Every structure is written in structure tokens, then in C-alpha cells.
């Protein structure tokens, strides 16, 4: 158990809909990362937050948005869903934000299926 909690574990929805994925980082971790992994693909970095502030953006679509709340949990919002958005979405947390010492601990992922 990594200590990172993601909900829901599985989600099936239709095209055009909107979903919210939730992540609770490990206790004490200030950084939260979101990654997308499509079928047989690597990990595509979406976005990173540190202590409530956005730190870096990767290949995140404009239809997607995220935020990190004061209690450090994070939500990833996916809207106007398309078939191609079907993927495993991982959240990871790290204690580090200002120094490169922290390995990422991953949640179990949220598997999104868009029909």
C-alpha cells in the first residue's frame, strides 16, 4: 500500500460527459502529480501541484483541469469526454517540492472507460 488513495477505481461513462477523479496523497506529501496511461502506452505527464499551486503542465488537454485543495487532496476534471480519453489515470505524491529527493508514490489508478 503506497498510501496514495484514488477514487473511483473504475468509471464507465459516455462521450460528452464530465467526470472528476480524486486523489489523496500520502500524509505529509506536498506534491501531487497526475499521469495518463492509455492502452499499451507509457506514462504521460499531465500536471503537477505543490502545496496548492500548479507547478508544471505536461500534455494536458484544455478539456481537462485539475486543482489541489488546502487539505492537499487533488481532483482531476475531465470534460466533453471522447473515446480516446479512455485510459488509466494515476495520481502520485511526493514529499519533495523544492528539492529532488522524493520518489513518487502512486495510487492504484482510476480506470476510465468512455463508451
Partner 1 sequence: AQKVTQAQTEISVVEKEDVTLDCVYETRDTTYYLFWYKQPPSGELVFLIRRNSFDEQNEISGRYSWNFQKSTSSFNFTITASQVVDSAVYFCALSDDDSGGYQKVTFGTGTKLQVIP
> In the complex, which residues of this chain contact partner 1 (CB under 8 A)?
2, 31, 33, 35, 42-43, 45, 48, 50, 55-56, 88, 90, 92, 94, 96-106, 108-109, 111
**In terms of CB distance, is 1 or 14 closer to partner 1?**
1
What span, in angstroms and rounded, lies between the C-alpha atoms of 77 and 21? 6
**Cβ of residue 84: shortest distance to partner 1, in angstroms?**
19
**Cβ of residue 19: shortest distance to partner 1, in angstroms?**
19
List the strands of the sheet with 5-7, edge to edge. 5-7, 19-24, 74-78, 64-68
Cell triple for 84 = 480516446
**In terms of CB distance, is 55 or 73 closer to partner 1?**
55
Q: Is 2 buried (19+), middle (13-18) or exposed (0-12) by CB count in 10 A? A: middle
**Cβ of residue 107: shortest distance to partner 1, in angstroms?**
8
**Cβ of residue 79: shortest distance to partner 1, in angstroms?**
25
Give CA separation, 5 vs 14, 69, 96, 104, in Å: 25, 15, 18, 13
**In terms of CB distance, is 53 or 80 closer to partner 1?**
53
Amino acid at each position: 500500500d503506497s498510501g496514495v488513495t484514488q477514487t473511483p477505481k473504475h468509471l464507465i461513462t459516455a462521450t460528452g460527459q464530465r467526470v472528476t477523479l480524486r486523489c489523496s496523497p500520502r500524509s505529509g506529501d506536498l506534491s501531487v502529480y497526475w499521469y495518463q496511461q492509455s492502452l499499451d502506452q507509457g506514462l504521460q505527464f499531465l500536471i503537477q501541484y505543490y502545496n496548492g499551486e500548479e507547478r508544471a503542465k505536461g500534455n494536458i488537454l484544455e478539456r481537462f483541469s485539475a486543482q489541489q485543495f488546502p487539505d492537499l487532496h487533488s481532483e482531476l476534471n475531465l470534460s466533453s469526454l471522447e473515446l480516446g480519453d479512455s485510459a488509466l489515470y494515476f495520481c502520485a505524491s511526493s514529499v519533495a517540492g523544492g528539492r529532488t529527493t522524493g520518489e513518487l508514490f502512486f495510487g492504484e489508478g482510476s480506470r476510465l472507460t468512455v463508451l
